[in-house]
Chain A
Amino acid sequence: MLRFVMTLWSVALTASILCTVARAAPARVVASYVYATTVDGLRSEAYNRGCGFARNHPGGQRVLLLDFGAARNAGSSSWGALSFGGHLFSNGEILAGLKAAADGHHNCYVRGSTMVAYGNSNYRMASSGMTQTDAYNVGYYQSYRAQQLASYQQAAGYNRQTAAVASDIEPSWDGAPISRKIVDGASAHGYALLYDYGSADGCPASGSGGTCNNGWQVADVAHVSYAGSAVPLPEIYYTVNADQWTVVRRWWNANAAGGFLFFGTTATAGVGFSPAQGWDALAARNPGIVLGELVCFC
């Protein structure tokens, strides 16, 4: 009888410990694409995004990710992004949009704190005429604009906001050498944390290295997601994505300094995983090293 009671107690204790250690997926926050075609429209759209995000803020520190579109040259020595509505905005115009998002967030503030992130992507940079130097400057000045946004937030007394940058870096969208330069430029500037919310598409689902789509190596995905000021916020839409990013983590830990840490996950709707399932799948394969962020384009 005593043995039976002891066994029950042991099982209960073990279950209790496991429940304590296990971490549930965080509440998702919505990220969105920018479709504006005028500066006034951009400011209005961004203001409403900031307000909507603040109203639905689940608490804690979360990322308001505004995807302004594909990184592009905006002149002979200026850079910006081509919106999903097909309009090229300079970084100065994008900063106006980011400030409007900060204003909207402030006016609708309810709880928590928010990093307002200037997002772009490596979508067909080279075929649009961009060089590796341009891509470097894209990252460098993206970080610089985040620093300017932070100054604006502080001067305005938006004390529950900070600024960051983000990039949807997809192997299939452009080559590794030019894509890596976005991260190198942002890291050289050094102010802003850079969330890589891209994929590891075509990378192996097991092992600790190998080739991915479009001539990329796992090492390249590791670079754009964790070198310098970059941190990974990977798209986890299907089981294979969680496996691929686990390979990226293994590559980094075997070949580079400092332990790889996932800063959360990116989700979308209508795919294999729900947002929470994606976060859980990555956390199950990488216990204790997935932070509580879950942004969703959904």
Chain B
Amino acid sequence: VTKSTLVRLIAAAAVLAGTAAAFAATPVEVYVPGLGHFIPAEKAAPVRHALGDPDAPGETKAAAPVPDGAPDALPGHLVGPDVPVPVSPVVLVPSNGWIAAHGRTLVAVYAGEAGDGSGAGRFVIVRQDRLGGTQGQQIVDVARSGPLSIVGAEAGRALGFRTRSGRAGELDLEHGIATLAP
């Protein structure tokens, strides 16, 4: 073995060792005890931030500030086309919506067609207790009607709507019942 060959062999071995070390330093997955699972290494820091420090002391006893204001009042109104609809397209292909909020209660109604392609008209009613910080949701279907559109509120307790064919109906907001006009 000549001296130059020996130098080349040593250099090649160094490169291989360096490459191996680099791979060892950047594992594809890391084990996270807080999850009990391996995750891709690039998620390790975000997961650590989300899990927090399990050894941290308990919550401070000091009370947090309470906001002065109240949840916004919203007069009943039809939602414009630019306002986002929160309901997944899996559930609803929306036509339009209507929102009202007074004091403790918010009601939002989204009208359209069921997202499963069944041809059913559908309302998704979101109700929020804005002081209690809770939310509920109800789905009301009108079989084989095609897409529904809200046309306006009637005395605040019901919404008028129309089917694709132009048939009128009424949605009772309190009980969540849709009725088509005869």
Residues A255-298 near B (CB distance < 8 A): 257-259, 261, 268-271, 289, 291, 297-298
Given contacts A84-B83, A84-B84, A106-B59, contact A270 B139 (CB under 8 A): yes
A229, B67: Cβ atoms closer than 8 Å: no
Q: B134, A30: Cβ atoms under 8 Å? A: yes
- Complex interface: chain A residues within 8 A of B133 (CB): 32, 48-53, 55, 104
- Which of B3-11, B44-52, B157-165 is the interface stretch? B44-52
Q: Known contacts A50-B133, A270-B139: does B64 contact A156 (CB below 8 Å)?
A: yes
Q: Does A100 contact B (CB under 8 A)?
A: yes
A159 contacts B50, C-beta separation under 8 Å: no
Cβ of A86 and Cβ of B83 under 8 Å apart? yes
| C-alpha gap A190/B1 in the complex (Å) | 51
A107 within 8 A of B: yes
B35 to chain A, nearest CB (A): 7
Tell me whether B135 and A30 are in contact (CB under 8 A). Answer: yes
A107:B51 contact, CB within 8 angstroms: no
Which segment, of B13-21, B124-132, B145-153, faces chain A?
A: B124-132
> Is A115 close to B, CB under 8 A?
yes
B89 touching A271, Cβ below 8 Å: no
Residue among A30, A124, A213, A271 having the largest count of chain B Cβ atoms under 10 Å: A271
B71 and A269 contact, CB distance less than 8 A: no
Q: Which A residues are CB-close (under 8 A) to B99?
A: 35, 84-85
Q: Check B130 against A86 for contact (C-beta < 8 Å).
A: no
Chain A count of residues within 8 A CB distance of the other chain? 88
B74 touches A85 (CB 8 A): yes
CB distance from A87 to the nearest CB of B (A): 8
Residues of chain B at interface, number, CB under 8 A: 67
The CA of A71 and the CA of B163, in the complex, are separated in Å by 31
A192 and B50 contacting across the interface, CB-CB below 8 Å: yes
Q: Is B175 an interface residue (CB 8 A)?
A: no
Q: Which chain B residues border A228 with CB–CB below 8 Å? A: 42-43
Taken together as a complex, chains A and B put the C-alpha atoms of A269 and B129 apart, in Å, by 16
* B89 CB contact (under 8 Å) in A32, A48, A147, A173: A173
Q: Give Cα A127 to B81, complex, Å.
A: 12
Task: Say whether A224 faces chain B, with CB atoms less than 8 Å apart.
Answer: no
Are B59 and A158 closer than 8 Å at their CB atoms? yes
Our pick among A147, A160, A268 for the contact of B88 (Cβ within 8 Å) is: A268
From A172, which residue of chain B is reached at the shortest CB distance? B89
Listed stretches A5-13, A14-22, A134-142, A193-201; interface member: A193-201
Contacts of A104 in B (CB 8 A): 64, 133
The reply to whether A270 and B39 form a contact with Cβ atoms under 8 Å apart is no
Closest 3 pairs between A and B when the two form their complex, measured CB to CB = A52-B133, A157-B60, A270-B139
Chain B interfacial positions (CB closer than 8 Å to A): 28-29, 34-35, 37-43, 45-47, 49-53, 56-60, 62-72, 74, 79-80, 82-86, 88-91, 99, 101, 106, 108, 115-116, 124, 126, 128-139
A/B interface sample: 28 pairs, CB < 8 A: A30-B135, A31-B135, A35-B108, A36-B71, A43-B69, A53-B133, A67-B86, A69-B86, A84-B85, A85-B74, A106-B60, A107-B64, A150-B49, A159-B56, A159-B59, A161-B52, A199-B89, A199-B90, A226-B40, A228-B43, A229-B46, A257-B40, A258-B28, A259-B29, A261-B39, A269-B136, A269-B137, A297-B137
